[in-house]
Amino acid sequence: MKNNEFFKIIQGAESFHYDGNSTGILICHGFLGTPQSMEYLGQAFANKGYTVRAPRLRGHGTHYFDLEKATFTDWIHELEENYLQLKDKCSQVFVLGQSMGGLLSLLIASKFKDVSGVITINVAFEVPDYEQYRNKLLPNYIEEGPPDINNKEVKEITYPYVPLKSINELLKLIDFTKDQITSIKSPVLLMHSKVDNVVPPISSKIIYERLKTTKKELVQLNNSCHVASMDFDQDKIVIDTDRFITSIVNFQYELNHISTP
């Protein structure tokens, strides 16, 4: 339990960490989600030898009353702290985030120029259904529908209601991130679902066009909806992420080898 949280962590929603080699992957869940939504990916990366860390962001995985107290700067600072902790253990660190976690991952790369690479999954560059609540004071809580997942056999840990205040914190985070995109120099892999009922797929394409980094990729997920980390493209996400990371790690190794007499 974090400061200012009054409810117990929902079983299965806890942060997780796997020790591995000197290449780390920091994983960030999305708005209303928890590390549980990223657990399949985390275990798959750990099985490949990576050191993996997935923090639970403030206000998530307990009760939406706790979420109401959290701010978007809380989430930024938490991920920054986890990045620095992982960087202490690993020579290279990649940051992977889904939806809101994708925004936070991009922000990490905009601040820390030693981020080895960023992977986003359906990054929440805009959430049209939430725009109607921008700067509104009422209602205090909005009912949430079921998670946007094609695979009906899985169940995501989330909240039945979302505080209006929290929606506006997400919208503030989106606005803040938009101003930082062009400062990112790290390689970026953007994955987006062909059908996403939360974030328009065009969002990832807009980010791709705005990025100034010389290494960027755009990959479409054809069999998943918004929560792709729990959907039918899980293995494709793992394969493409591993390929992306391996290419950067190998390039850096060759670069260091050439520059060393």
Report CA torsion sign: 172, 197, 102, 20.
positive
Catalytic residue list: 99, 196, 226
Locate the DSSP E strands across the chain: 16-18, 23-28, 51-54, 92-98, 117-121, 141-143, 161-163, 188-193, 216-221
Q: What share of the chain is helix, strand, coil (3-state, %, to 5)?
A: 40, 15, 40
Task: Give me the torsion for CA of 159, 164, 168, 170, rounded to 10°.
Answer: 0
Give me 253's structure tokens: 């190794």
